[in-house]
């Protein structure tokens, strides 16, 4: 059984029909990437899953339970963690406080400390910056804080929205290798990316969204070599 099942979800942004019956499934242990152009509904799909947008109809099932329309704060404790687009760090808090909020719903001090150490292994830069206000960090560092913070919630499924947005190419490569490492440690990942090239390289499977509908889906490697995808998203 898939860890996450999205069944023909329709969602609106005001009057805009943003999702027109989107269905997809994320299997335990994989990286599924959601690619597509601007306004294809990638971010809305993530928001519908994490409860920030209430679907008009359709179902979202996580870990065997129906979570359609459940507010996001109730999903964090169940292991569904969403890192929003534009990093969503709290610029007015220190890095340490940002990380502390990642573990907001947890009460096992020892477990949190262990997870913090693990996050610092992945992001040594974050460890150095703990006392700094998060708003003073560079874009790449902020993204690292956002992902490290998400890991402190001990996610089963991590929703990543455009983690490479606005980062220097070198940093993009670093972030993607870390994403792969996190996945290797057992976290299932649903990755939304505009940078289809990189996304298809790290993901196991991919779903292509076009104006609120699933246009294609399949193996990431297969899609990367398909002519339609190459033409539309990979710029070949």
Partner 1 sequence: MSDFLQILIAAVAVGSTYALLALGYTLVYGVLKFINFAHSDVFVLGAWTSFTASMFVTQRMNVDPAHAPWWVGLCVLLAAISVASTVAYCIERFAYRPLRKSPRLNVLITAIGVSLLLQNVGQLTGPAVVRETPTTVTKAAADLTPAERASETTKINGEQAQVQVQGKPLATLPFGSSPRSMPVLLPDAVLNETTAATGVMDGGSRRGMVKLDKPVTLEEGRTYSLQTERLDASGKPTGERETLGVASPAGTYEKGTDIRTQPARNAKDVQGAAYTLTIAPEVPIRLLDVLIVVSALVLMAGLEILVYRTKLGTAMRAISYNVETAQLMGINVNLVISFTFVLGAALAAAAGFLYPMKYPGLNQPAHQIWVLLGLKAFVAAVVGGIGNIRGAVLGGFLIALVEMFGAFYISTKLSDVFVFAILIFVLLVRPSGILGTTVREKV
Pick one of 8, 10, 23, 97: the residue that binds partner 1 (CB under 8 A).
Answer: 97
Pick one of 93, 178, 211, 215: the residue that binds partner 1 (CB under 8 A).
Answer: 93
Q: Counting contacts by CB under 8 A, is residue 155 touching partner 1?
A: no
Taking contact as CB under 8 A, which single stretch among the options 82-90, 193-201, 208-216, 224-232 is the one that binds partner 1?
A: 82-90
Q: Which is nearer to partner 1, 53 or 202 (CB)?
A: 53
Taking contact as CB under 8 A, which single stretch among the options 25-33, 74-82, 124-132, 200-208 is the one that binds partner 1?
A: 74-82
CA-CA distances (angstroms) from residue 4 to 76, 158, 215?
Answer: 14, 11, 19
Residues 6+ apart with CB under 8 A from 134: 89, 90, 91, 92, 93, 94, 95, 97, 98, 142, 145
Count the residues of the shown chain that bind partner 1, applying the rule CB under 8 A: 26
Backbone angles phi, psi at 38, to 5 degrees: -65, 135
For the residues of 54-115, what is the DSSP string, one character each? --SEEEEEETTEE-TT--HHHHHTTTEEEE-TT----TTSBHHHHHHHHTTT---HHHHHHH
Cite the beta strand spans of the chain per DSSP E.
4-13, 16-26, 31-36, 57-62, 65-66, 80-83, 157-161, 188-193, 205-210, 213-219
Q: Counting contacts by CB under 8 A, is residue 42 touching partner 1?
A: no
Taking contact as CB under 8 A, which single stretch among the options 36-44, 99-107, 169-177, 227-235 is the one that binds partner 1?
A: 99-107
Q: Counting contacts by CB under 8 A, is residue 54 touching partner 1?
A: no
Taking the C-alpha atoms of residue 229 and residue 188, their distance in angstroms, rounded to an integer, is 24
Pick one of 21, 29, 77, 166: the residue that binds partner 1 (CB under 8 A).
Answer: 77
Cβ 6 to partner 1 shortest distance, Å: 18
> Site mask, partner 1, residues 107-146, x = CB under 8 A?
----------------------------------------
Residues in contact with partner 1 by CB under 8 A are: 50, 52, 71-74, 76-77, 81-84, 88-93, 97, 100-102, 104-105, 149, 153
């Amino acid at each position: 059984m898939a860890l996450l099942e999205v069944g023909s979800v329709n969602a609106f942004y005001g009057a805009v029909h943003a999702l027109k019956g989107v269905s997809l499934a994320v299997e335990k242990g994989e990286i599924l990437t959601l690619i597509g152009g601007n306004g294809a509904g990638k971010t809305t799909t993530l928001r519908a899953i994490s409860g920030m947008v209430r679907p008009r109809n359709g179902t979202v099932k996580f870990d065997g339970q129906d979570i359609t329309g459940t507010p996001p704060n109730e999903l964090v404790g169940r292991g569904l963690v969403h890192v929003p687009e534009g990093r969503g760090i709290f610029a007015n808090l220190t890095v340490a406080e940002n990380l502390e909020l990642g573990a907001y719903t947890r009460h096992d001090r020892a477990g949190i400390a262990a997870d913090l150490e693990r996050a610092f292994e992945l992001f040594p830069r974050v460890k150095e910056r703990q006392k700094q206000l998060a708003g003073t960090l560079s874009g790449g560092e902020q993204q690292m804080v956002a992902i490290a913070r998400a890991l402190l919630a001990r996610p089963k499924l991590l929703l990543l929205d455009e983690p490479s947005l606005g980062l220097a190419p070198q940093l993009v490569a670093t972030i993607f290798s870390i994403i792969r490492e996190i996945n290797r440690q057992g976290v299932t990942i649903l990755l939304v990316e505009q940078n289809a090239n990189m996304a298809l390289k790290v993901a196991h499977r991919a779903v292509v969204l076009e104006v609120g509908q699933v246009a294609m889906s399949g193996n990431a490697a297969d899609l990367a070599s398909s002519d339609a995808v190459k033409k539309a998203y990979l710029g070949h």
